[in-house]
Amino acid sequence: MLEPLKKLLEKDTMKVIGLISGTSCDGVDAALCELSGHGQGELKVKLLAYHSEPYSEDLQKKVLDISNPKIGHTDELCRLNFRVGDTFGRAAENIIERAGLKPTDVDLVGTHGQTVAHLPPRLETGINTTGRMQRHGSTLQIGEPAMIAERLNVPVISNFRARDMAAGGQGAPLVPYVDYLCFSHPERTRAVINIGGISNMTYLPKKCKPEDVLAFDSGPGNMIIDALIQRMTQGKMRYDKNGETGAKGQVDGYILGELLKHPYLQMAPPKSTGREEFGALYANQIFDWGIGRSVKPTDILRTATDFTAITLADAYKKYLLLKGSVDEIILSGGGALNATLMTRMKKEFGGAPIALSDDYGMPIKAKEAIAFAILARETILGNPGNLPTVTGAQGPRILGQITPP
């Protein structure tokens, strides 16, 4: 069983597939990468192919329903684990075909899975005299890795977040370790911002060491916007393409002011969040509240869009600029394609230089999938994949679990 894994250690260059479905639950992002080199500034990443495997409307609804503690059931969770795993496996097969390769050409798969619950430790659960949290958080990603391994006959690394949480960490964000490897610079201070379902940011000072990295989930990204547009269109639209619908609305100052009082926004890092705080339930509350105040649906959507931009800017000013000036902001994630969000974000950031991760060789849509390809390789190489200063874990940990071919 261990022989295929031993052979991987002899390869300086690996072809690795990264798979992830984000908090929007709209499908699987797959990136097939050629990875070589080791460590900060030495890692080489070549994207061979990118593919997005959409969830069917039925599967998306089932994933969202199972994430709702009021209606989720364990038998449905059990079925979904394998059904989602099969969809992840199909995404991997499709990207291999798109690249003109065969499964035997692939060395490794790293799958984040589909998060259905993420419950990080919170300060209110009690702290000891040293100020450390006493309670472990918990997290659950589905998408059975055995289904992927069975389809491809390739080793699969999965369940990345659990080990960090077992060590007292938030289990997220994990991508900042990849930001450290790929984007840190000897002479320039950089901020890397990703706007997925949830927004997160990473601060990389020049001559950065692992302990210098600051990163956290700033709050909402596309998740509230997506849920609102789905509610407004009875599911006919999954997201606000280019921000066109939001652009038709006006910001409701009262609702925006109330949203900005959300307790998560007042928490200091390390912190992480997810659908439990900024998901469909929260979005539906915003929508119902707005309609109850006779606010137009487009105005509710525009207010939520500006809410995302303002929370990003507030976190940037409060935590990153406090450490010093930033030379470059590198932006990724689907939110970068929302023109209305970007217009407000640039205004809030006061003219700070913003570039897309595409300009640094990492396409905005593929970045998170690429990250889990890199994290999978780090696991096989025996390297820790978390940053304790980011997650709050007791120390560096090798992440993930291995399903052999």
Do both 303 and 194 map to the same domain? yes
Cα-Cα end-to-end distance for the chain: 8
Count of all residues that appear for the chain in the document: 405
What residue type is assigned to position 360 of the chain? Y
Q: What angle do CA 393, 399, 404 make, to 5 degrees?
A: 160
Q: Which two tokens stand for residue 190?
A: 């950089």
Q: Return left, alpha or beta for 287; rule: phi > 0 is left, psi -120 to 50 is alpha, else beta.
A: alpha
Q: Which two tokens stand for residue 44?
A: 């080489």
Do both 101 and 215 map to the same domain? no
Do both 344 and 250 map to the same domain? yes
Range of the domain at 382: 3-172+366-403
CB 113 within 8 A of CB 141: yes
- How many domains, the chain? 2
Instruction: Give the span between the Cα atoms of 53 and 87, in whole angstroms.
Output: 8
Do both 301 and 372 map to the same domain? no
Q: What is the CATH number of the domain that holds 102?
A: 3.30.420.40
Handedness of CA 37, 42, 45, 46 (dihedral sign): negative
37-68 burial, b at 16+ Cβ within 10 Å, e below that, comes to eeeeeebebebbbbbbbebeeebbebbbbbbe
pLDDT at 163: 96
Do both 62 and 148 map to the same domain? yes
pLDDT at 135: 59
pLDDT at 72: 79
Q: Is residue 359 part of a domain?
A: no
pLDDT at 296: 97
CB 403 within 8 A of CB 156: yes
What is the biggest distance separating any 2 CA atoms in the chain, rounded to whole angstroms? 65
Q: Which two tokens stand for residue 172?
A: 């997220």
pLDDT at 382: 94
pLDDT at 131: 45
Do both 245 and 274 map to the same domain? yes
Do both 294 and 242 map to the same domain? yes
Do both 153 and 207 map to the same domain? no
Do both 80 and 222 map to the same domain? no
pLDDT at 128: 36
Check: pTM over 0.85? Answer yes or no: yes
Q: Which two tokens stand for residue 37?
A: 């080199």
Do both 50 and 70 map to the same domain? yes
246 forms bridges with which residues in the sheet?
none
Q: Is residue 360 part of a domain?
A: no
pLDDT at 1: 59
266-287 burial, b at 16+ Cβ within 10 Å, e below that, comes to eeebbbbbbbebbbbbbbeebb
Task: Calculate the CA 250 to chain-centre distance.
Answer: 29
> Quick count: other Cβ atoms within 10 Å of Cβ 125?
11
Q: Is residue 156 part of a domain?
A: yes
Closest of 394, 378, 324 to residue 180, by C-alpha: 378
pLDDT at 276: 85
pLDDT at 17: 98
Instruction: Give the span between the Cα atoms of 21 and 30, in whole angstroms.
Output: 9
Q: Is residue 117 part of a domain?
A: yes
Do both 240 and 167 map to the same domain? no
Across the 405 residues of the chain, what is the mean pLDDT of every consecutive 10-residue run?
76 96 87 95 94 92 84 90 97 97 97 93 46 67 97 97 94 96 96 95 96 96 95 92 97 96 94 89 95 97 98 96 93 95 93 90 93 97 96 96 95
Do both 277 and 389 map to the same domain? no
> Quick count: other Cβ atoms within 10 Å of Cβ 292?
8
What residue type is assigned to position 302 of the chain? R
CB 351 within 8 A of CB 316: no
